[in-house]
Structure 1
Amino acid sequence: MRFSITTLGCKVNAYESRYYAQKLEELGFEEADSDLDVCIINTCTVTNTAAAKSRQMIHRARRRNPGARIVVVGCYAQTAEEEEKQKLQADLIIGARHKNELAARVLALMTEDRSADLTSHEEGAGFESMPIARFEGRNRAFLKIQDGCNQFCSYCAIPFARGRERSISRDEALQLVQELEAAGHREIVLTGIHTGRWQGEQGEDLADLLKDMLSVTTDVTFRISSIEITEVTDGLIALLSTEPRMMPHLHIPVQSASNAVLQRMDRPYTVEEFEQRLDEIRRAVPDISISTDVICGFVGESDAEFEEMMQTLRRMRFSFLHVFPYSQRQGTKASRMGPPVDGTIQKERAARLLELSKELRMADMTRFREETVLVEQGENGEYTGYTRQYHPVLIRCDRPLSGRVHGTLRPEDGRYIMEV
């Protein structure tokens, strides 16, 4: 039987899709582009655009593959109203839970015609393990260690879509990093919805887990996909400052750099607190690069608040910005606060932030003249990878490359060029 997976949204979704593919292949399914028996759409609901695209992909799959079974999984599947779900005409719907059963459920759907709608949060259930044995053709591997969110920022539907916070067990996490290193991976990226809120059964935090991971591996390096400023503990800073196998890059979402907007967003810090912690991180880890997420056009964001944000972001010296125009999500606190900023103004502000991001990246890149790069892929004398600070690199070399290479860097158009 042949299947395809369409993935929308975040890196956690991408990880989960890879897990689904691995498990289906173990059951004898074949991933393909045509003559499909099963179409899986891994959905997103973080913005109206993401939800609309999820619906579009579901309808497209049905239209292009009239004989295939349609499986809808993920955040949009969880949050869609009953009427919306009926319109999808999906054969199997899986929301925040039962994701690690997807392959078995698909097999039952194909052999026993057991359709189902599994979109109950089942609060109190534990972390659903979704281990991936190997990331084919990649030196970098990912490991999902956490799911769910308890924060309930006023604009965000993710707590409703993903459920409450839960963490992988310490023992399983340590076993998986050893297996990934044994499979040949040179770098492991820890990921989750709130990665920094991983918690062990004995109250251990992320820094404790990373120390243990470093102790059971020998050569693999580690990154954190994203972390909140309130989760960057003194222990984590100390680990970043002393352990060479911890990559000197953090992605810390600020979302806004105006205190008034942060308050309306229900973010748990002020601009001053955020900046103070940034200073502490940089003093301890001078070669670190810190990137961020920014939302523009939030409810009530005035011209003055936006200009304040632009000035503050420049002062904060991020290495780059991921920019998101605000999207109203039904059921969130912000959806009851009033209309968002006009769409044309949102686009103008997003464009200015993206230009600022280019400036910030170039400024950060000029700090580094030589670096070590983990080669990801390439051929015909050109390879791609990332520096330890997570800047992209194009490597030119007339011989085959693999693993880590060290060389001189030349900034060009938002990336480095390295001649080896």
Structure 2
Amino acid sequence: MIDTNIFQNKTAVYYTLGCKLNFSETSTIGKMLKEAGVRTARRGEKADICVVNTCSVTEVADKKCRQAIHRLVKQHPGAFVVVTGCYAQLKPDTVAHIEGVDVVLGAEQKKDLLQYLGNLQKHETGEAFTSALKDIRSFAPSCSRGDRTRFFLKVQDGCDYYCSYCTIPFARGRSRNGSIASLVEQARQAAAEGGKEIVLTGVNIGDFGKSTGETFFDLVKALDEVEGIERYRISSIEPNLLTDEIIDFVSHSKRFMPHFHIPLQSGSDEVLKLMRRRYDTALFASKVHKIKEVMPDAFIGVDVIVGTRGETEEYFEEAYRFIEGLDVTQLHVFSYSERPGTQALKIDHVVSPEEKHRRSQRLLELSDLKTKAFYEKHIGQTLPVLLEKSKPGTPMHGFTPNYIRVEVPHNDALDNCVVTLRLGEWNEEGTALKGLPLE
């Protein structure tokens, strides 16, 4: 039994790196501490507890994690420092020896964070608590809003794919999920708390059902029936798991938005083989074609990695031409980072940092062209926009069903409201279209 008296009137700060799933889990940790009596520290206030939820998708991510820990230790002297997340699971001893760190929690332990806080007495050296990969089995529910308008519902965790460049399966364990019944109940609770939009998150959400014998399509159909939620977005789904029946369902769904995020990683079939991806460019192109056939205005975001081992100049040019020909909206471009223990390290042909940067810039420029064209195609249209809270005196922003960012003058009364607006020209920064009232 945990004595929560020690947490009364204590303060905490939270720092999250990485994916939407991490943000969702941090928010759940914050809710857990709040229920125990801990409040979030105000700006400039020294906290009693620091929680850092880390990422390890690249070497740069690892470095950012270390920097964040050092910064928080300096900003909150004497605070009890807890580090969790992917970097903590993969490199627990490294993290435990960072000055100021008290406890390091792996993937299996983070859900029980309270049990590891003890009496909040600082440790001389950090203690690491992690489980072996084969023992990471539990699914920790998480449906949280944090400071955002949107809720993030964790539907799945872990990955069984073992792509050659990726350490996520080692950090998060095997694919597992909550039951459809439990996830529907969490969505109902989000609606009861005033939530209008839910983003479905996970590591490989299309693989949903390994734990429960259900399918992702079954989950989508069940969530679509939850009253009170107006919008769902699928955060990211592998192309080989994005079935035509899911696409067709979204096209006439009551609540799932015409918005897809599909990792491509490379537009070269040879590089896809080296990456050990489970599809080829023909399948990917067919999914994009299918989406656009039934939802011509759908937003399609695509992940691409440049400079992987084995990506010759010829393969990159082939990939560029393929992506250039895709009717997609935006590219999320990542430079390949070598991760210890991955199969990619056995591949010949290493791409220089300078060449990675050049390739990345070319794809980012292509992305800008595609996004700009997509936005401008919608100028003059009338669409519903879910507006999000902003600081007084600053413009409010929100998104259309197909994820076009829209800006309107500040108005507190419009926070978390769906407002029908006419899409005008770009704002001054070129980051959103102006939302104009209907005449």
Q: What is the TM-score of this pair, normalised by structure 1?
A: 0.93
Q: Counterpart in 2 of 1:419?
A: 436
1:300 shift after superposition? 2.5
Give per-residue Cα distances to partners, 1:17-74, cap 9 Å, x unaligned: 1111111111111221432222211111100000011112223333343422221101
After superposition, residues 8-407 of structure 1 pair within 5 angstroms as 8-32=17-41, 33-80=44-91, 82=93, 85-87=96-98, 90-106=101-117, 108-110=118-120, 116-121=127-132, 123=134, 126-132=137-143, 135=145, 138-199=148-209, 203-338=213-348, 340-368=350-378, 369-378=381-390, 379-380=392-393, 382-396=395-409, 400-402=413-415, 403-407=417-421
1:10 shift after superposition? 1.0
Letter aligned with residue 404 of structure 1: V
User: 2:339 is paired with a residue of what secondary structure?
Assistant: coil
Letter aligned with residue 171 of structure 2: A
User: Runs of 5+ in structure 2 lacking a partner?
Assistant: 1-9
Q: What is the TM-score of this pair, normalised by structure 2?
A: 0.89
Letter aligned with residue 293 of structure 1: D
Q: In 2, distance between residues paired with 1:381 and 1:90?
A: 37
1:340 shift after superposition? 3.4
Tell me which stretches of 4 or more aligned residues in structure 1 moved more than 6 Å: 111-115
Q: Counterpart in 2 of 1:7?
A: 16
- C-alpha contact (below 8 Å) 2:224/2:254 kept by paired residues: no
- C-alpha contact (below 8 Å) 1:381/1:399 kept by paired residues: no
Letter aligned with residue 100 of structure 1: K
Q: CA RMSD, aligned part only?
A: 2.3
User: Runs of 5+ in structure 1 lacking a partner?
Assistant: none
Question: Relative to 1, partners in 2 of residues 1:125 and 1:301: Cα closer, same or farther, differing over 3 Å?
Answer: closer
Paired residue total: 418
Give per-residue Cα distances to partners, 1:368-406, cap 9 Å, x unaligned: 222211111234473101111112111237783241111
Question: Relative to 1, partners in 2 of residues 1:325 and 1:136: Cα closer, same or farther, differing over 3 Å?
Answer: closer
Question: Relative to 1, partners in 2 of residues 1:109 and 1:354: Cα closer, same or farther, differing over 3 Å?
Answer: farther
1:89 shift after superposition? 5.7
Q: In 2, distance between residues paired with 1:136 and 1:38?
A: 18
1:90 shift after superposition? 2.6
Stretch moving more, 214-223 or 302-311: 214-223
Q: In 2, distance between residues paired with 1:136 and 1:111?
A: 28
Letter aligned with residue 21 of structure 2: V
User: 1:76 is paired with a residue of what secondary structure?
Assistant: helix
Letter aligned with residue 55 of structure 1: R
